[in-house]
Amino acid sequence: MIAATVFFHAVIIAATAAIFRATTSTIHGAARFLRDSVYLTLLSIVLMAVHGVEILMWAGLFLYIDAFQSFEAAFYFSASAYTTLGFGDVLLPDEWRLLGGTVAADGFLLFGLSAAFLFETTARLRLGGARAN
């Protein structure tokens, strides 16, 4: 599951970067500020949606292995573990409890990847010119 979520995340980031490279043009002033603001907002929404899909993937795995009987419990546990929040009010069965840490490590890794991508994109937008192309 880690390989699947990392691959999915990488594909989305690569596609988003390709779109960014293809659509970035050199403009200045208020139009550049507005374009950059819209782009970063859309990028953030896309990345949050990607994380949501990855949480759904974990929830699907938990349902597949019968760790939870309802989608709600599987999704809730996946979201709290993936975000490393870990409330502890919903737990995996004993035979699957090591997967909780695996979900957390996966989420930690992918949030870091998203943050790095946002940081690099922001740097390229800020610098403008040839680096933004």
Give percent of the chain above pLDDT 90. 74
pLDDT at 73: 96
What single string gives the DSSP state of each residue in 92-126? --GGGTHHHHHHHHHHHHHHHHHHHHHHHHHHHHH
The CATH topology of domain 2-6+31-132 is Helix Hairpins (1.10.287)
- Residue 51 pLDDT: 98
* 63-95 confidence digits (pLDDT tens): 999 999 999 999 999 999 999 998 889 999 999
Confidence of residue 10 (pLDDT cuts 50, 70, 90): very high
Q: Where are the domains of the chain?
A: 2-6+31-132
The confidence score (pLDDT) of residue 127 equals: 67
pLDDT, position 24: 67
Q: What is d(CA 99, CA 103) in angstroms, rounded to the nearest whole number?
A: 6
Question: How far, in Å, are 6, 41, 74, 117 from residue 131 at the CA level?
Answer: 27, 20, 43, 15
